[in-house]
Amino acid sequence: MTGPDLPPAALRLGIDREALAHNWQALDAMSGSAPAGAAVKADGYGLGVDHVVPALSAAGAREFFVAHWSEVPALLRHVPADQISVLHGLRNAQEARFALATGVRPVLNSLEQVGHWIGAGGATCHLMVDSGINRLGLPMADLGDEAIARLEVDICMSHLASADEDSPKNAAQLAAFRSVSSSVRAKRYSLANSAGIALGTDYAFDLTRPGLSLYGGIARPELADRIKQVAWPQAAILQMRDLVAGDAVGYNALFTAAGPMRVATVAIGYADGFLRCRGPGSALHKDGLALPILGRVSMDMIVVDCTGCPEAREGDFLNVPFDLLRNAEASGLSQYELLTTLGKRFDTTN
């Protein structure tokens, strides 16, 4: 026996698949002769792999990167196993067996992980080399180990630490990675993320791996005119209220009305990525009108000033600004945080 249909949510998230495809195609073109892959970890950077992976695949992407093995089943619904790579590699023999059973390719990050792969009888894999970020990846000093020569490496990759800045670190990492080819035999080499693509085709090698900018993030100024907004959140008005002079709004009474006001309580809060730092000085929008946020963001609600928008009614959806660069600058959050904290309470539309 099934229950009644779930009512529509008080939160909506529009995902512009055409903008997503445009962004991949723009980054692919900027990569020169190297095709662009797609980082789709963290559930497609918070937008849902069921929405973003089919759109990226249709646009032409053929290499998809996730962080965890737990992310693999969702991708297998949409793309073949040999197009999926797991960046965190292999923690143990069980993960190696899972990789072999599915055909998904691990990105090996250490001699210990190489040992897991060889011990399981592993075939084609990828290899991450640390060229200076000191995160995941084999140290350069380990590349001469005899176990590396036993691997069948498809993609040898590294990751840029400061590509979003004009830093001498970029050229140093480029030089270090160029030297890797003399130590590691691989079919392809890959270095550039979204920001790295904007540094120029010297960084592209045989494959680029954009992430943030696929979803509307501006990783460097050179991308500002090429990347389109992908995510468009909206939140519903739960209640309208009339205030008089002296009425305070929200926790700790941080806002007090100086005179008569019409305000709306709106269904968005922490679990929807609308953190407290996004409140001060911010506004939602309706029909092009800015509706300033009053007082503090609370757990599941905010209050906005609708005095200048008398047509606002309970049940109306308000637009939540989501220009990632501007919101990051205003809130102090990173563009990555804005995307990946959106949460699961939105009804997603395309």
DSSP 61-89: ---EEES-GGGHHHHHTTS-GGGEEETT-
Question: Rounded to an integer, what distance in angstroms lies between the CA atom of residue 102 and that of residue 115?
Answer: 19
Q: Are 301 and 238 in contact (CB under 8 A)?
A: yes
**Closest of 141, 149, 136 to residue 110, by C-alpha:** 136
Residue span(s) of the chain under CATH 3.20.20.10 come to: 17-218
CATH of 17-218, one of 3.40.50.720, 3.90.550.10, 3.20.20.10, 1.20.140.10: 3.20.20.10
Average pLDDT over residues 187-198: 98
State the pLDDT at residue 2: 79
Across all residues in the chain, what is the average pLDDT? 97
Q: Has 41 been annotated as catalytic? A: yes
**Given the DSSP bridges, would you call strands 283-286 and 248-249 parallel, antiparallel or unpaired?**
unpaired
**Closest of 58, 102, 53, 60 to residue 75, by C-alpha:** 53
Say whether 167 sits in a helix, a strand or coil: coil
Average pLDDT over residues 199-226: 98
Question: Rounded to an integer, what distance in angstroms lies between the CA atom of residue 278 and that of residue 70?
Answer: 31
Full-model pTM: 0.96
State the pLDDT at residue 149: 94
Say whether 160 sits in a helix, a strand or coil: coil
Q: Kindly tell me if the per-residue pLDDT of 1 is higher than 80.
A: no
CATH superfamily of 231-349: Lyase, Ornithine Decarboxylase; Chain A, domain 1 (2.40.37.10)
One-letter amino acid of 108: L
Average pLDDT over residues 121-136: 96
State the pLDDT at residue 349: 87
CA geometry: angle 192, 193, 199, nearest 5 deg? 60
State the pLDDT at residue 3: 87
124-128 sheet: strands from edge to edge: 38-39, 64-66, 84-86, 105-108, 124-128, 152-157, 186-190
| Residue in 169, 187, 203, 251 annotated catalytic | 251
Residue-wise pLDDT tens digits, 155-175: 999 999 999 999 999 999 999
Q: Kindly tell me if the per-residue pLDDT of 218 is higher than 90.
A: yes
- Using a pLDDT cut of 70, give the percent of the chain over it: 100
Q: Are 143 and 110 in contact (CB under 8 A)?
A: no
DSSP 100-154: HHHTPEEEE-SHHHHHHHHHTT--EEEEEB-SSS-SSSB-GGGTT-HHHHT-EEE
Q: Where are the alpha helices (DSSP H) in the chain?
A: 17-30, 41-45, 49-59, 72-76, 93-102, 111-119, 146-149, 168-180, 194-198, 324-331, 335-340
Residue-wise pLDDT tens digits, 283-337: 999 999 999 999 999 999 999 999 999 999 999 999 999 999 999 999 999 999 9
Question: Rounded to an integer, what distance in angstroms lies between the CA atom of residue 99 and that of residue 104?
Answer: 5
Question: Rounded to an integer, what distance in angstroms lies between the CA atom of residue 230 and that of residue 217?
Answer: 9
Residue 253, CA distances (Å) to 61, 179, 248 in order: 50, 60, 5
| Residue in 41, 189, 203, 286 annotated catalytic | 41
**Given the DSSP bridges, would you call strands 11-15 and 317-319 parallel, antiparallel or unpaired?**
unpaired
Q: Has 336 been annotated as catalytic? A: no
State the pLDDT at residue 97: 96
Residue-wise pLDDT tens digits, 142-160: 999 999 999 999 999 999 9
Residue span(s) of the chain under CATH 2.40.37.10 come to: 231-349
